Chains A and B, each alone.
Chain A
Amino acid sequence: MFKSVYNWIDERLDVTPLWRDVADHEVPEHVNPAHHFSAFVYCFGGLTFFITVIQILSGMFLTMYYVPDIINAYASVDYLQHKVPFGSIVRGMHHWGASLVIVMMFLHTLRVFFTGSYKAPREMNWVVGMLIFFIMLGLGFTGYLLPWDNKAYFATKVGIQIADSVPYIGEYIKVFLQGGDIVGATTLTRFFAIHVFFLPGALLALLAAHFLMIRKQGIAGPL
């Protein structure tokens, strides 16, 4: 039954090479913790992606309640956390996941660095990975403001002050991030848009490139 459905689709779309790439590829012995326990260091990339998926899902649920304006932002987070059933857990997943994704990505980066896996022919994949790292830091920075409590507000103020001290273009970065002369209503809507649309869009595109390259080139061989 499944076989005939698969064949029907395959005849029309020629999905077998695609399926091979996505699912039916080899997992070499040297990255398989079942054979060598020390190979668990190869899990960090997958775990980063796993936490990223959690971030996307929990974030989608958070936007069901979150209101990005300075009057209601705090109140909506407060309501979500204290009144909505399991709201505290969903927000907790997003909050702690944000830290965890940085930790996992950091460990993944170190693994790739110390095993020299970024060397030819995988240079481009390393560069894309570093861009993902920067996007994640950007997501962390913009997401930190959204609950609109004092910690969020003053951390963003300091962050924008630092950006402002960049020579020549600092002023422009500041105005771009703030959307005005102060950290206020326009900053919050801007950070929300950047956090929810711009950066995740860029992140998904880069992740696609990252995975496409790893499938095209395969995992780096044993040392």
Chain B
Amino acid sequence: MAHGNNSNEKVVYVGDSRVRKRETVNSIPPDYTSFPGRSEAFIPNFLLKEWMVGCVVLVGFLVLTIAEPPPLGYPADPTNSAFIPMPDWYFLFLYQLLKYPWVSGSYVPLGVMGVPGVAFGSLLLAPFLDTGKERRFYRRPIATTLMLLSLVSCYYLTKVSWDHYQHELEITNTVPEHIEREEKAREAAASGEEPPSATKPKEDVALVDADNAGVKTIMEKAKCMTCHGTDLKGQAGAKIPSLHGVGDLLDKAQLTEIVTNGKGGMPAFKDTLSAEEIDTLTTWLAKQKAAQ
């Protein structure tokens, strides 16, 4: 053994380890009792109180998660051109900043490097920029003012960005996908059905009486295929519905109303098509039901 408990050695170790055998206890740092004021021990006195605060926070947090389920929209579809992008809320100030003309386009280096670089750089290096001994914020007017200004501008940018998003939702008449989905699930639950699955693609419904020459002529005249597609399956990305199985969703009267007066992004066809043509068309559309 390299280091026996030989009392002649200057340093005595525990066994053959490098832990020195202690003779006295004075190597222990001072505990809280040697500090002045009403200090208290971390364990157990303070930790117990801290745990109580922690429990209150945890209960509040769990109530939030139960009351407000996490949002989930529809599966990512890169061809979806109508989706309004929305970063998480704590990136909104940066997102909004980059929309201003003086930090975008040819000035974009200023927007992505300059402004955030100076802001985050000075925040990172704050102790080396504000080197005075004074700690009270009201005696440090420059540091305090700069911080308050940054806070106000972050708040302002976030608010503008959020209002802009809400406005965009309104003018495009869009319901955010996770809300739409939740709504549909709730409706399905209320009527006692299975909630609609967003993962399984809908089964393809074949067209009924697909070779009807009269209908084909009318459709070519009205240019239905331009939007609903040559296969009449619509464009999911642009929220243009498929006409396959449309008879399951709408009856003839509703179809006539939509074709005659339009709906959402679809134009009215009362000037393009005659009443008989619309009648022929909607009779055919109403027949588009899934095979039983």
Q: Give A residues with C-beta under 8 Å from B.
A: 11-14, 16-17, 20-21, 23-30, 32-35, 43, 46-47, 50-51, 54, 70, 74-75, 77-78, 81-82, 88-89, 91-100, 102, 110, 113-120, 122-123, 126-127, 130-131, 134, 137, 140-141, 144, 147-155, 157-159, 162-163, 165-167, 170, 182-184, 220, 223
Contacts and interface: CB of A to CB of B under 8 A. Distances in A.
B17 interface: yes
A88 B69 contact: yes
8 contacts: A26-B39, A99-B88, A150-B74, A151-B178, A155-B85, A165-B111, A167-B109, A223-B136
Contacts of B49: 33-34
B80 to A, nearest CB: 6
A94 B49 CA distance: 26
Q: Could you say which of A118, A151, A223 has the most chain B C-beta atoms within 10 Å of its C-beta?
A: A151
Contacts of A23: 42-43, 47
Interface of B: 14-15, 17, 19-20, 22, 27-29, 31-32, 35, 37-43, 45-47, 49-50, 53-54, 57-58, 61-62, 64-66, 68-78, 80, 83-91, 94-95, 98, 108-109, 111-113, 120, 123-128, 130-137, 140, 143-144, 147, 176-178, 195, 198-199
A183 B79 CA distance: 12
B89 A47 contact: no
Nearest to B77: A150
Contacts of A70: 76
B41 A149 contact: no
A46 B50 contact: yes
Contacts of B29: 17, 20-21
Given A119-B130, A152-B76, A167-B113, A95 B70 contact: yes
B113 A166 contact: yes
A24 B86 contact: no
A158 B85 contact: yes
Contacts of A20: 28-29, 31
Given A119-B135, A127-B127, A165 B108 contact: yes
Contact of B42 (A25, A131, A166, A223): A25
A154 B75 contact: no
Contacts of B40: 26-27, 32
Given A123-B128, A140-B88, A149 B70 contact: no
A79 to B, nearest CB: 8
A11 B14 contact: yes
Contact of B53 (A43, A95, A159): A43
A158 B112 contact: no
A114 B140 CA distance: 9
A26 B35 contact: yes
Contact of B78 (A12, A28, A153): A153
A205 B39 CA distance: 30
Nearest to A112: B126
Contact of A220 (B35, B57, B66, B135): B135
Given A20-B28, A119-B133, A50 B57 contact: yes
B127 A29 contact: no
A75 B199 contact: yes
B249 to A, nearest CB: 23
Contact of A114 (B80, B88, B127, B144): B144
